[in-house]
Amino acid sequence: MESSNNDNIAFNYIRQWEQETINRVKQVADQACLDIQALIDENNASSKKRYDRLDAELRQQEKNNSSSEQEIEQLKAAELLKLNCQRSIEIHSRTLDFDGVFQITSGRSTASDVSFDLNRVLDVNSRTNTVYISDDCLMTASHNNILYYDMNQLCIVDLTGTYGRTIDWMDEIRDMCWCSSVDQFFIWSCSGGYTLDSLTLNMIQIKEVPKILPFDTCSATCLDDKLLLCDSPNIQLWQPSTWTLKDKWENVISK
């Protein structure tokens, strides 16, 4: 009976991952469709404006008898063809690497079964596994994953501790938090701000977010679409969905 329960947990975990992945892919695809439609609408509006202006100019020439009706129609057709050629849209995408997403073992896990280097103690009789980390590590969590920084590694584990991945990170990280509005982790380091997708491990540097000076006291926290960055003695309010600075308070924190 115990083996059957463990089997069900394993299958449920995979199905949950499958559904979350599908939802995330659908979210990205839906947003891409919205972006394309917005670009099409913008191109159509611009083309119509240029075409209407040309039509008015040609009508004026017709009134002045400087052009024949046949010449006017030919010019309009040529301009319409030119506008249609300028409306092409290019789409580029990255291939997602799903190789090695699951690491499946049988029985008690050993050091070779663990997908990252930090020491872990796994108890097959418990649904929760223990992950050993140092006392001064940084840690944050989403609804489904825990992200922590320790020994020059970013480590992501699920909430049961049974599945983990790592990213080598030599730059000093000062703070991290989960941004639900973009469904990504935010990482603030001495080289600037970054977002990390917990599913694909895709990391993007947010160029708008400032770098941190050495020895500065820093912290980051996020709620909905509001990200507060404290770089003593200043506080900044950011909007993660657009990565725009919404407000700033200077010299409000004493060092």
Domain co-membership, 145 together with 241: yes
Query: Confidence class of residue 11 from pLDDT cuts 50, 70 and 90?
Result: confident
The helix (H) or strand (E) run that includes residue 195 is strand 192-196
Question: Does residue 47 sit within a domain?
Answer: yes
Domain co-membership, 26 together with 151: no
Question: Does residue 98 sit within a domain?
Answer: no
Domain co-membership, 171 together with 214: yes
Instruction: Report residue 22: phi and psi, to 5°.
Output: -60, -45
pLDDT at residue 240 in the model? 94
Query: Confidence class of residue 68 from pLDDT cuts 50, 70 and 90?
Result: low
Could you give the CA distance from residue 181 to residue 223 in angstroms, rounded to a whole number? 8
Domain co-membership, 80 together with 134: no
Total residue count of the chain as it appears in this document: 255
Is residue 166 within 8 Å of residue 154, measured between CB atoms? yes
Is residue 232 within 8 Å of residue 216, measured between CB atoms? yes
Per the DSSP assignment, residues forming a β-bridge with 237 are 228, 247
Per the DSSP assignment, residues forming a β-bridge with 238 are 227, 245
Domain co-membership, 117 together with 242: yes
Number of domains in the chain: 2
Could you give the CA distance from residue 245 to residue 159 in angstroms, rounded to a whole number? 32
Q: What DSSP state is assigned to residue 211?
A: P
Q: What DSSP state is assigned to residue 85?
A: H
Domain co-membership, 148 together with 217: yes
Instruction: Tell me which of 125 and 234 has the higher pLDDT.
Output: 234
* Residue 187 DSSP SS3: strand
Domain co-membership, 158 together with 215: yes
Question: Does residue 104 sit within a domain?
Answer: no
Could you give the CA distance from residue 18 to residue 157 in angstroms, rounded to a whole number? 17
DSSP state letters, 187-229: EEETTEEEEE-TTT--EEEETTSPP--TT--EEEEEETTEEEE
* pLDDT tens profile 15-62: 888 888 888 888 888 888 888 888 888 877 877 777 777 777 766 766
Question: Does residue 217 sit within a domain?
Answer: yes
Tokens of 189: 């380091």
Question: Does residue 93 sit within a domain?
Answer: no
Domain co-membership, 78 together with 117: no
Domain boundary among 36, 51, 85: 85
Query: Is pLDDT above 80 for 71?
Result: no
Q: Give me the domain span that covers residue 207.
A: 111-249
Find how far residue 88's CA is from the centre of its chain: 27
DSSP state letters, 137-173: -EEEE-SSEEEEEETTEEEEEETTSS-EEEEE--SPE
Tokens of 182: 């973009």
Query: Confidence class of residue 242 from pLDDT cuts 50, 70 and 90?
Result: very high
Is the pTM higher than 0.75? The answer reads no
Question: Does residue 106 sit within a domain?
Answer: no
